[in-house]
A and B are shown apart, each in its own frame.
Chain A
Amino acid sequence: MEYKKFIEELQKRLGKNKKSIDALMSDTLQIIKEHSVMMDSFSIQGFGTFEPRKKAERISVNPATGKRMLIPPKIVLTFKPGTIIKNKLREKSDNEQ
């Protein structure tokens, strides 16, 4: 689902104007970002956990050119879904089989 649709849906459910929701949204994201920059993991009840993780440097090969590259170390924000999402997804995959 695209962001616009998502905001519209939220608007409908909360019964607020778009402006206030946008403000709240950006603030929420700001909080998550601040925590991630501080290398703190950030968990949201029922949704999941955002966790910044360090990745070590590594040597990889560019498949197109065959050249070997030294990929520098980096910090990546990871997300682990909570149990509710996990269970729902499991049900879904069970149904499909």
Chain B
Amino acid sequence: MVDLLSRKSDCTKKEAEAFLKEFFTLATEILSSGESLKINGLGVFKPVWVEKRNSVNVQTGQPCEIPGHYKLSFTPDKSMRDAVNAPFACFEAEIIADDVDIKDTEIFDMAAEDSDMTETNIDDSSTEMETVVMSLDKETSDIVIADIPDERQNVKDEIQPENNQLPNEMNISDTTNQKESKDENTEHKLPAEVYDAQTAPEEKIKEPEEKEHIEVISVSVVDNYEKEEFRRKQTWRNRKNFWYGFVTSLLIFVVADLIWLCYNGTFEEGQVTISSWIPAIIKNQNQEGEKNKDSVSVVKALVTDSLKTTEVVRKDTATLENKPITNMNEKSNKVPEKEINNDTMLSEKTVTEIMKPGIFLTTLSLKHFGHKTFWVYIYQENKANIANPNSVPVGTKLIIPEKSKYNIDSNNRESVEKAKALATKILSEYE
């Protein structure tokens, strides 16, 4: 402190030290005596009397009384306060219209959880089905096979893709060490398997001849194979199902967050990151889709026609999952495109500003007019280019109007009040 001061004010260290010592000892003396002290440019120090109150000892839980005492309060000066708060100066207290805002987010969370629940339910039901099938199969393996061809067929269908999928998954995780890709992959497989289990019996009813043909193979292959692999697979299944639930819930939360950001996009940075994220995700998914197709083709070679339907189902799910995301991508891309088109039409005679991340209409107003409420006039001047004054995309060119055009005067109270009234009017349209 002494060093800094002596360097700053070009005086000897001795002088600086003497000054500081006196300054703060005097301050302590004044404050200790119970008087308040005001220092211009710093703030007001004030000893405040705190009444006695009852409290509870945190450790023992016993009630105790805190006696009345003095507390030193410090209120920074306006200049000091503004200087410290400079990074957040552009924000202003905002009135929330109804309880819309908070409940919206809460409802969204609930919805996300609900969809999560249904997802896991599907998962559970699929496991139940499988266990039922397994048990049925075990009981009747030696007796009448013809009575329950559907179940047997079903089991065989499920087991063989599984065999292929398991090593496949291992390979993928080895080659691409990215966790995400694996997650996406497993997610694709989950619905596919569910569909597999459900559609397989239906198909067999339609084609009884084919059923018999495959039955013969299934009896010979599956009976030996099954008993050895049965236990291992069940443990694998349990683990896998747990991970499926976990992964899907994670993905749903991520997607929900992205949508929320898009919807609420007050920050330009958010939009930029989203639009750059989405293509990456789609790429990932496309890759996974291809991998799935590969695995399916291998399976197909082994299991013959009965799995054709599963391939179709898999493709369907892959495209289904890609669709909503591509839609979202289109939406987020459309807005910046419009802006670029409009930019070329702008004349550049007057003062212009280009929006950058971290810069708001209010900051521009503060810079050019000396008060942040005058952002409304910047907005009015550029109404054609700004879809929503709450979020102006990065890179938008803005014309800064002349002060005289709107009677802008940061020292004139009426002018400020007028701008504020206009601001509430404009903002009410976007709520």
Contact = CB atoms under 8 A, between A and B. Distances in A.
Interface of A: 1-3, 6, 9-10, 13-14, 21, 23-33, 36-37, 44, 46-48, 52, 59, 67-79, 81-82, 84-86, 88-90, 92-93, 96-97
A32 B42 contact: yes
Interface residues of B, number: 59
Given A31-B1, A67-B95, A74-B85, A89 B22 contact: no
Given A30-B8, A71-B93, A1 B30 contact: yes
A26 to B, nearest CB: 7
B39 A6 contact: yes
Contacts of A23: 9
B85 to A, nearest CB: 5
Contacts of A72: 88, 91-94
Contacts of A14: 18-19, 22
Contacts of B99: 68
B358 interface: no
A3 B80 contact: no
Nearest to A73: B88
Given A10-B23, A89-B32, A92-B34, A59 B1 contact: no
B167 interface: no
A77 B28 contact: no
Contacts of A86: 72
B76 A77 contact: yes
Interface of B: 1, 4-5, 8-9, 11, 15-16, 18-20, 22-28, 30-32, 34-43, 45, 47, 49, 67-72, 74, 76, 80-81, 83-88, 91-96, 99, 101-102
B9 to A, nearest CB: 4
Nearest to B36: A1
A52 B23 contact: no
Which of B23, B43, B87, B88 counts the most A-chain CB atoms under 10 A from its CB? B23
18 contacts: A1-B37, A3-B39, A14-B19, A25-B41, A29-B42, A33-B80, A33-B83, A47-B24, A72-B91, A72-B92, A73-B88, A74-B85, A74-B91, A75-B84, A85-B28, A85-B31, A92-B32, A93-B69
B85 A75 contact: yes
Given A6-B30, A6-B37, A33-B83, A69 B72 contact: no
Contacts of B84: 33, 36-37, 52, 75-77
A69 B92 CA distance: 10
A72 to B, nearest CB: 3
A47 B27 contact: yes
Given A23-B9, A28-B20, A46-B24, A37 B1 contact: no
B141 to A, nearest CB: 64
Contact of B72 (A13, A21, A29, A81): A81
Q: Is the interface of A mostly helix, strand, loop or mixed?
A: helix
B5 A28 contact: yes
A85 B32 contact: yes
B92 A3 contact: no
A97 to B, nearest CB: 7
A79 B45 contact: yes
B88 A75 contact: yes
A67 B38 CA distance: 34
A77 to B, nearest CB: 5
Nearest to B81: A77
B39 to A, nearest CB: 6
Given A69-B94, A72-B91, A85-B31, 4 more contacts: A10-B26, A37-B83, A72-B92, A84-B28
B66 to A, nearest CB: 11
A90 B69 contact: yes
Given A52-B84, A85-B31, A93-B69, A27 B9 contact: yes
A79 B204 CA distance: 79
Contacts of B11: 24
Contacts of B96: 59, 67-70
A69 B38 contact: no
A9 to B, nearest CB: 6
Contacts of B95: 67-70
A89 B28 CA distance: 10
A29 B117 CA distance: 59
B107 to A, nearest CB: 17
Contacts of B88: 72-75
Nearest to A91: B32
A10 B31 CA distance: 15
Contacts of A67: 95-96
Contacts of A47: 24, 27-28
A75 B10 CA distance: 32
B27 A79 contact: no
Contacts of B23: 10, 25, 28
Nearest to A93: B69
